């Protein structure tokens, strides 16, 4: 992981990794520099030697958390032979695999945290959301082209439905401390995909 990194780059990476979970759990305002100092064992100057500002550190931490979440969501997806199976795998990954960085979905957390301010973070999370929706949309589009999904199905609506309902269900599940909402949404989405597929038969 750290092959080829200078000691300075390694320290920078370590700060990002430690800060990621704190930002993701407590939000931008709730993540104090003191908490990052405590987690890394570094002094304030030792942290700010590597980052121009708290905004820059938060943006790098977001990218780190998003990459971890993305990797968890993409597990085994490309191994599936149909678009519908790929979409179902993505849904199952979201429901079953918590990202290794604590605090829930970084897109949801950071969107809520930055939608009324913090333009640098807002740009990063907008980009991440765009990637996430686009990936699903492109799978749905391909599935439609190959006759798996009904021609009346709109790939962007499928992608938006999956992202919106999973993110909303995650909010409910984290608040209720049970995965009931996520399971219900998974069931609905799978049935929806089956019904959109069935009509082509």
Residue 173 neighbours by CB distance under 10 Å: 20
Residue 80 or 174 having the CB closest to its own copies: 174
Please identify, among the stretches 22-30, 45-53, 70-78, 87-95, the one whose residues bind its own copies according to the rule CB under 8 A: 22-30
Q: What are phi and psi of 24, to 5 degrees?
A: -70, -30
Nearest to 92, CA basis, from 78, 72, 112, 110: 72
DSSP letter string, 20-45? HHHHHHHHHHH--HHHHHHHHT--HH
Q: What is the DSSP letter of 103?
A: S
Q: How far is the CB of 181 from its own copies (least distance, A)?
A: 5
Q: How far is the CB of 102 from its own copies (least distance, A)?
A: 8
CB 31 within 8 A of CB 22: yes
Is 187 near its own copies (CB under 8 A)?
yes
Q: How far is the CB of 12 from its own copies (least distance, A)?
A: 25
CB 88 within 8 A of CB 149: no
Using CB under 8 A as the binding criterion, the count of chain residues that bind its own copies stands at: 46
Q: Interface with its own copies by CB under 8 A: which residues?
A: 25-30, 102-104, 108-109, 111-113, 115-117, 122, 125-126, 129, 133, 154, 156-157, 160-161, 163-169, 171-172, 174-176, 180-181, 184-185, 187-188, 192
């Amino acid at each position: 992981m750290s092959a080829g990194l200078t000691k300075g780059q390694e320290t920078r990476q370590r700060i990002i990794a430690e800060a990621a979970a704190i930002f993701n759990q407590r939000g931008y305002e709730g993540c104090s520099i003191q908490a990052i100092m405590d987690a890394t064992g570094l002094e304030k100057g030792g942290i700010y030697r590597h980052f121009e500002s708290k905004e820059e550190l938060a943006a790098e931490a977001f990218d780190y958390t998003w990459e971890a979440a993305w990797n968890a969501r993409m597990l085994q997806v490309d191994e599936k032979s149909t678009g519908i199976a790929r979409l179902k795998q993505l849904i199952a990954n979201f429901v079953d695999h918590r990202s290794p960085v604590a605090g829930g979905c970084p897109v949801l957390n950071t969107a809520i945290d930055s939608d009324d301010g913090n333009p640098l973070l807002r740009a990063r999370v907008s980009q991440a959301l765009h990637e996430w929706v686009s990936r699903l949309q492109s799978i749905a589009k391909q599935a439609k082209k190959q006759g798996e999904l009904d021609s009346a199905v709109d790939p962007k609506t499928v992608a938006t439905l999956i992202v919106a309902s999973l993110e909303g269900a995650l909010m409910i599940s984290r608040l209720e401390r049970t995965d009931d909402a996520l399971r219900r949404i998974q069931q609905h989405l799978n049935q929806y995909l089956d019904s959109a597929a069935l009509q082509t038969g």
